[in-house]
């Protein structure tokens, strides 16, 4: 009987310490990468959220284009440069994000001669809206 009491006290202590450890462990907290007000979001009853990835080889550039809605680009590796018609260029390095404004002609670049750039692209649009429109 004494052994049973000692075992149950030991088990209770182990469970209590496990619970205490779980309570002391902090919850993961997200880090804010970018906060920016935007215009021209879709206003319909339904929208599509799209998440894409892209790898830009050294020296690669996108076509000259526009977007109908804001597009967020998060850089995983390397550096991404966005040249905007009539505006200063935007540059984001690994761990940073930029918003590509809607209805502005632009071209994206990996200007490095040696490093690959990898990006994640997020945007919300009306269903079946093309990702980009070619600009002239």
The residue ranking higher by pLDDT, 44 or 33, is 33
Average pLDDT over residues 98-116: 97
Starting at the edge strand found earlier in the chain, the sheet holding 79-84 runs 90-93, 79-84, 106-109, 65-66, 133-134
Q: What percent of the chain has pLDDT over 90?
A: 76
Pairing state of beta strands 117-125 and 97-100? unpaired
pLDDT tens digits for range 50-87:
999 999 999 999 999 999 999 999 999 999 999 999 99
Our CA angle for 111, 115, 118, nearest 5°, is: 85
pLDDT of residue 7 exceeding 50, the answer is no
Map out the domains of the chain as residue ranges.
Answer: 48-134
Query: What is the CATH T-level fold of the domain 48-134, as seen in this structure?
Result: Jelly Rolls (2.60.120)
pTM: 0.79
Mean pLDDT score, 22-29: 82
Q: Running DSSP on this structure, what letter comes out for residue 126?
A: S
> Per-residue pLDDT for 18 more than 80?
no
């Amino acid at each position: 009987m004494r052994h049973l009491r000692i075992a149950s006290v030991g088990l209770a202590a182990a469970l209590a310490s496990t619970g205490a450890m779980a309570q002391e462990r902090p919850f993961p907290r997200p880090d804010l990468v970018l906060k920016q007000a935007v215009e021209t979001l879709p206003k319909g009853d339904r929208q599509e959220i799209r998440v894409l990835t892209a790898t830009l080889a050294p020296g690669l550039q996108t076509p000259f284009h526009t977007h109908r809605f804001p597009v967020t680009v998060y850089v995983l590796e390397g550096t991404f440069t966005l040249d905007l018609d009539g505006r200063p260029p935007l540059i984001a390095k690994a761990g940073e994000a930029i918003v590509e404004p809607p209805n502005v002609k632009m071209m994206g670049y990996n200007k490095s001669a040696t490093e690959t750039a990898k990006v994640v692209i997020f945007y919300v649009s009306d269903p079946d809206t093309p990702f980009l429109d070619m600009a002239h």
